[in-house]
Amino acid sequence: MTERAQRIGPAELLARLARGDELVLLDVREPREFALGALPGSRLIPRGELAARVAELDPERETVCICHHGVRSLQAAAFLRTRGFRCVLDLAGGLERWALEADPLFPRY
């Protein structure tokens, strides 16, 4: 992978989850946003807390960073790569795009 975080689209993520791929789903939104809806199995570490809590994550596990529109998750993915995480993906378009393309029942806000 290049130094920039790689992106994954909603359809590909949905397919990988359906296959049972072992992915860490790292939701970097705020707790109030997470309470509105989150992907099953997601782990919440708000973007502003990530630097202080990065040791809670395994740099050897494939990690997908998730937020509302994809901006904070892209920043989080890039940050994790600077900390030695080798396989980090950003959910392109965030949960807004997920709701539009992968799960129309997912809450939008």
- In order of their start, the domains of the chain are 6-101 (3.40.250.10)
Helix, strand, coil percentages in the chain from 3-state DSSP, rounded to 5: 40, 15, 40
Question: Distance between CA atoms of 10 and 52, rounded to whole angstroms?
Answer: 29
Question: Distance between CA atoms of 65 and 55, rounded to whole angstroms?
Answer: 16
Q: Is the model's pLDDT at 5 over the cut of 80?
A: no
Q: Is the model's pLDDT at 3 over the cut of 60?
A: no
Q: Is 87 a catalytic residue?
A: no
Average pLDDT over the chain, rounded to an integer: 95
What mean pLDDT comes out for the span 63-71?
98
Q: Is the model's pLDDT at 101 over the cut of 60?
A: yes
pTM comes to 0.94
What mean pLDDT comes out for the span 17-31?
97
Q: Which of 5-9, 48-52, 70-74, 81-85 has the lowest mean pLDDT?
A: 5-9
Tens of pLDDT, residues 78-90: 999 999 999 999 9
Q: Catalytic: which of 23, 67, 80, 102?
A: 67
Question: Distance between CA atoms of 72 and 49, rounded to whole angstroms?
Answer: 12
